[in-house]
Structure 1
Amino acid sequence: MKFKFYPLYSLAVLTYFLLPLKSKAQFLNEKVSTTDSSKNTRLKNLSDASRIGRASGSKAAEFQELYDYEVSSKNLIGETFPYQTLLHKAYVIMLAEQKILNPDEAKNILQGILKVDQLAVKNTALQVYLPYESQLIKEVGSTGGKMHIGRSRNDLDNTTNRLYLRDQLLEVISAVIQLREAIQSTALLHLETIMPIYTHRKEAQPGTLAHYLTAIDESLSKSLMRYIELYDRIDQCPLGSGASGGTSWDLNRQRVAELMGFKQLVVNTIEGAAGWDHITEFAADNAIYMNGLSRLASELQLWSTDEYNSVELDNSYAGISSMMPQKKNPDALERTRKAAALTSGQLMSILTSLNGIEYQHSGVRLMLEPKALDAILAATHTMTGVVRTLHVNKQILLDYTRKNFSTMTDLADVLVRAAHLDFRDAHELIAAVVIKAIAEKKTADQIDLEMIQTAAKEKLGHKLSISEKQVKTALAPLQSVAHKTGTGMPAASSVLQMISTGQKDVASKTLWLEKQKTYLSGKNHQLMELVKKYSQ
């Protein structure tokens, strides 16, 4: 067999194998984009190639986040590095104020920090503390080693982690607030969207979509409160604890904490190095919150099945099958549930890592990873969009409520009120009516007075003093809902009160969030001004 020699092809192959790994990927992408663009103009962007069939149109940016976090190259060292450099600056200024460093030493170290920070952008090995310090000493001489006076990597790392988690927590709080706003806005649109309330995945009683959404909002309000309460326990500075036993240097722990925006100290120096409950609590709060979000996603996925056909995702949050043309998959919901599983796993990993160690600093402990935190943000942003754009089939929901016996409790209540039966007798009588209706292939709205009187004669030996109008009123889902006006119930007036309460709560939490952000921004500005002053 003879092989033909193609110079251009051979050159391309040779070029490919001489490239580093990252460049190979770029090389292949360039070749694919140039060769495929002429064949299929519809797939202009290969990353969006799945936007065809029943899920045509652009993918929501929030939805894309649920894909991006899984392949992200983020790591804890890289994400916490900016906070490490902030800590160095605050610590050097405190050492200078305490006259542990003289002005020239502080100036040289701060100038050196700026140089090493720039180098660390390209050389990520410098983002680890000891290589960072080594490079600092190369830049400014032995003076650079004085930056570490009175501290250990133990308190340094714990402080850096707290700075990182503090900002991440504010991001999560902001995202949950936005989700609650979306749920409240959508609830206002569905005060009279009648639907069955389910228990055990069976129709239970009539309600409204607004009533259901306010239940979700109330659940989210508790998660939001847990996060806000957690903030105070994360916003504590352990710097100055040293390895665990403190230091003989005259450090001003309160001052360095203030420079970094901390409002409190981790007082005990052993706790400063060994304490990890704030991380466990963050992971637990995440798992609780995401568990609730997963339940919402699971329910919406159930309702979006062809059998329920109660709701439909907007195309921008759906996917397709590469084989089956009819498919419109609830990808945003499934990936939200997947993200929830990740957060539960993260909690178990952290708890397990702590269970096997004594109360001291240890490398066995696991930290909250950026991937788990990004998963929470991605899922929350996505579900915010899902709720805002959800298509609701109001007529189908009404038909389910009217036909599938969810009004039977109302009918039993009529027998108690009008015919003066005790509730257990009324319950048994209506159960007999339902059994007969199902046997005769009748729906709930086809039940009439005659069926009830027949059952009463059989069960009680006599007919009841009720009217056909009373029966029909009890069987009307809208009337059923309208009569339930008590606190927290599905009548529009009650739901409006819950929405109003939720909106006030969101407003107060938004003010709290802005207050924290403003405070931290101000402290950061003050620190940068001091860095300028001491660097001159």
Structure 2
Amino acid sequence: MALWSGRFTESVSEFTQRFGASLPVDKALYAQDIAGSTAHARMLAAQGVISQDDADAIAAGLARIKERIETGDFAFDINDEDIHMSVERALIADIGDAGARLHTGRSRNDQVATDTRLFAKARCTDLMEANVALRRALIVQAEAHPDIIMPGYTHLQHAQPVLFAHHMLAYTWMLARDFERLAAARRAADASPLGSAALAGTTYPLDRQMTAEALGFARVIPNSLDAVSDRDFLLDLSYACSVSCMHLSRLCEEIVLWSSAEFGFVELSDAFSTGSSIMPQKKNPDFAELIRGKTGRVVGDLVALLVTMKALPLAYNKDLQEDKEGAIDAAKTLEECLVCAAGMVETMSIKPENMRAQAKKGYLAATDVADYLAKKGMPFRRAHEVVGHLVLLCEQRGCDLEDLTLADFQAESDLFEADIVSSLDLEAIVAARTTIGGTGNAAVAEQLAQAKAVLSTDETTVSN
């Protein structure tokens, strides 16, 4: 019979026992469960609810159980239903009545909420560490290639030339926002529900502040109903994971494109590529594709939890058993994707000659030619039309803007002078973007310094 079986005259069926058990999932939270139980026992002794001898026996017994689990010497039994019952049953078997006193003033409702919050805090920290590692790899690539020019795109069509470093740094800022979301999720989880009991608190003189401090929580949740039923912190974690995976998917989509023969901008290392079972020449960006594909799973984890939570009345409901599997999966998947992406970025080879060759195609100087006319007094909309005619002329001739003669330019407007040629130089076009956040060399150097400073701050935040 189960530990809660006093009210019942018969056991659940074997099927419903398996159907209702969360142990296969929540046994991953054994360390958090044991930490919470240890803190609870010590608080009970400090408050005179149980004896100090019992508390010492409980703490020692829990430490032995933790060691057995970590050495593989602990047999999990599905009949225990969840990690809480599994640990408690083993504790009672080890130390007797002292172990049976552990649950005084506590419910599995506040116990599981405590375990899950401790888990979420730890996983957020792991993900923040992986996040800064990928940003570091992107910054290294940007710093190592400060002057490489590549085509910038809109609608996946050639738009304007940009620095490769500028493109890499765009992803560091996406990831910096991801870091902020993960930090916010960690703060959301950093509150103790322990001592709220089933839903209404307890008649025992519990010191909730003591257990919160022992477990490293920043604060105590002030409402017992909210404490046992809130899973917003898991939604925050799942959302942060989903957005970060989406950003990684965008990066990996570009890596897939850039490593193709059509682009040839980068070559992935052999360690982050695979071959074909039939085509000997193939070098496939499988791991970039896998990251792109895993994004769907992580987004699904978020949606599943949102739907689970959408109509739950207060306080605890068995539906909440479904909260952990998706969050555990989302965090694990994101961490692995971040590690894989960092390895790809660190080891990929850059092909500047191919980037430059493509930057010379697609009339990337067109905007600068229009700006040339606008700076000489022509309304920009009229200048836009004039340059459009010049691009049409190039298409008809099968050439680029830099192949046109001064006479060709002056046929469209007498504002063109011989210095128009300098407006078509890729280096000049890029360097002219001097505004904050622009792709000009000086602006990118300033941006790089800022990205490194933010990264340094975030590295400190991870450990705090």
Fold-level similarity (TM above 0.5): yes
Q: 1:403, 1:444 within 8 Å by CA — same for their partners in 2?
A: no
What is the aligned partner in structure 2 of residue 272 from structure 1?
Answer: 227
Structure 1 residues 53-96: Cα deviation after superposition (integer angstroms, max 9, x where no partner): xxxxxxxxxxxxxxxxxxxxx96323201111111111111111
What is the aligned partner in structure 1 of residue 42 from structure 2?
Answer: 93
- Poorly superposed stretches of 4+, deviation over 6 Å: none
Rounded Cα–Cα distance in structure 2 between residues aligned with 1:401 and 1:351? 45
What is the aligned partner in structure 2 of residue 294 from structure 1?
Answer: 249
Which amino acid is the alignment partner of residue 431 of structure 1?
G
Q: 1:218, 1:502 within 8 Å by CA — same for their partners in 2?
A: yes
Rounded Cα–Cα distance in structure 1 between residues aligned with 2:348 and 2:431? 25
What is the aligned partner in structure 1 of residue 414 from structure 2?
Answer: 464
Q: 1:150, 1:249 within 8 Å by CA — same for their partners in 2?
A: yes
Rounded Cα–Cα distance in structure 2 between residues aligned with 1:364 and 1:425? 63
Select the residue among 419, 427, 437 that pairs with 2:394.
437
Q: 2:409, 2:416 within 8 Å by CA — same for their partners in 1?
A: no
Q: 1:320, 1:329 within 8 Å by CA — same for their partners in 2?
A: yes
Q: How far has the Cα of 1:185 moved from its partner?
A: 1.4
Q: Is 1:379 aligned with 2:337? A: yes
What is the aligned partner in structure 2 of residue 124 from structure 1?
Answer: 76
Which amino acid is the alignment partner of residue 436 of structure 1?
L
Q: 1:197, 1:207 within 8 Å by CA — same for their partners in 2?
A: yes
What is the aligned partner in structure 1 of residue 367 from structure 2?
Answer: 409
Q: 2:371, 2:380 within 8 Å by CA — same for their partners in 1?
A: yes
Q: Secondary structure at the match of 1:196?
A: strand
Structure 1 residues 375-423: Cα deviation after superposition (integer angstroms, max 9, x where no partner): 11111011111111221211111121122211100011112223x3111
Rounded Cα–Cα distance in structure 1 between residues aligned with 2:84 and 2:415? 85
Q: 2:298, 2:329 within 8 Å by CA — same for their partners in 1?
A: no
Q: How far has the Cα of 1:135 moved from its partner?
A: 2.7
Q: TM-score, normalised by structure 2?
A: 0.90
Percent of residue pairs bearing the same amino acid type: 26
Q: How far has the Cα of 1:280 moved from its partner?
A: 0.7
Rounded Cα–Cα distance in structure 2 between residues aligned with 1:443 and 1:466? 17
Q: How far has the Cα of 1:98 moved from its partner?
A: 0.8
Rounded Cα–Cα distance in structure 1 between residues aligned with 2:425 and 2:256? 28
What is the aligned partner in structure 1 of residue 33 from structure 2?
Answer: 84
Q: Is 1:200 aligned with 2:155? A: yes
What is the aligned partner in structure 2 of residue 399 from structure 1?
Answer: 357
Structure 1: runs of 5 or more not aligned = 1-73, 457-462, 517-536
Greater relative CO, 1 or 2 (CA 8 Å, sep 6+): 1
Q: How far has the Cα of 1:449 moved from its partner?
A: 2.0
Which amino acid is the alignment partner of residue 480 of structure 1?
I
What is the aligned partner in structure 2 of residue 349 from structure 1?
Answer: 304
Rounded Cα–Cα distance in structure 2 between residues aligned with 1:114 and 1:185? 44
Q: Secondary structure at the match of 2:115?
A: helix
Rounded Cα–Cα distance in structure 1 between residues aligned with 2:118 and 2:149? 47
Rounded Cα–Cα distance in structure 2 between residues aligned with 1:85 and 1:79? 12
Structure 1 residues 492-529: Cα deviation after superposition (integer angstroms, max 9, x where no partner): 11111111111111111111222x2xxxxxxxxxxxxx
Q: How does 1:204-223 map to 2 (within 5 A)?
A: 204-223=159-178
Q: 2:37, 2:102 within 8 Å by CA — same for their partners in 1?
A: yes
Rounded Cα–Cα distance in structure 1 between residues aligned with 2:65 and 2:271? 44
Q: TM-score, normalised by structure 1?
A: 0.78
Q: How far has the Cα of 1:118 moved from its partner?
A: 4.5
Q: 1:312, 1:391 within 8 Å by CA — same for their partners in 2?
A: yes
Rounded Cα–Cα distance in structure 1 between residues aligned with 2:234 and 2:158? 41
Select the residue among 416, 428, 443 that pairs with 1:479.
428
What is the aligned partner in structure 1 of residue 4 from structure 2?
Answer: none
Distance 1:207 1:117, change over 3 A: closer
Q: Is 1:324 aligned with 2:284? A: no
Q: Report which of the two structures shows the higher radius of gyration computed on alpha carbons.
A: 1
Rounded Cα–Cα distance in structure 2 between residues aligned with 1:116 and 1:489? 58
Which amino acid is the alignment partner of residue 436 of structure 2?
T
Structure 2: runs of 5 or more not aligned = 1-22
Q: 1:304, 1:312 within 8 Å by CA — same for their partners in 2?
A: yes
Q: Secondary structure at the match of 1:321?
A: coil
Backbone CA RMSD of aligned residues: 1.7
Q: How does 1:39-438 map to 2 (within 5 A)?
A: 76-120=25-69, 121=72, 122-125=74-77, 128-365=83-320, 366-367=323-324, 368-418=326-376, 420-438=377-395
Equivalent pairs, count: 433
Q: How far has the Cα of 1:359 moved from its partner?
A: 3.2
Rounded Cα–Cα distance in structure 2 between residues aligned with 1:358 and 1:285? 26
Q: Secondary structure at the match of 1:124?
A: coil
Q: How far has the Cα of 1:481 moved from its partner?
A: 0.6
Rounded Cα–Cα distance in structure 1 between residues aligned with 2:219 and 2:65? 30
Structure 1 residues 320-379: Cα deviation after superposition (integer angstroms, max 9, x where no partner): 111111211001210111222211111111111111322321221322443321211111
Q: How far has the Cα of 1:272 moved from its partner?
A: 0.8
Q: Secondary structure at the match of 2:303?
A: helix
Structure 1 residues 7-58: Cα deviation after superposition (integer angstroms, max 9, x where no partner): xxxxxxxxxxxxxxxxxxxxxxxxxxxxxxxxxxxxxxxxxxxxxxxxxxxx
Which amino acid is the alignment partner of residue 123 of structure 1?
A
Q: Which stretch of the first structure deviates more once superposed, 145-154 or 306-315?
A: 306-315
Which amino acid is the alignment partner of residue 398 of structure 2?
K
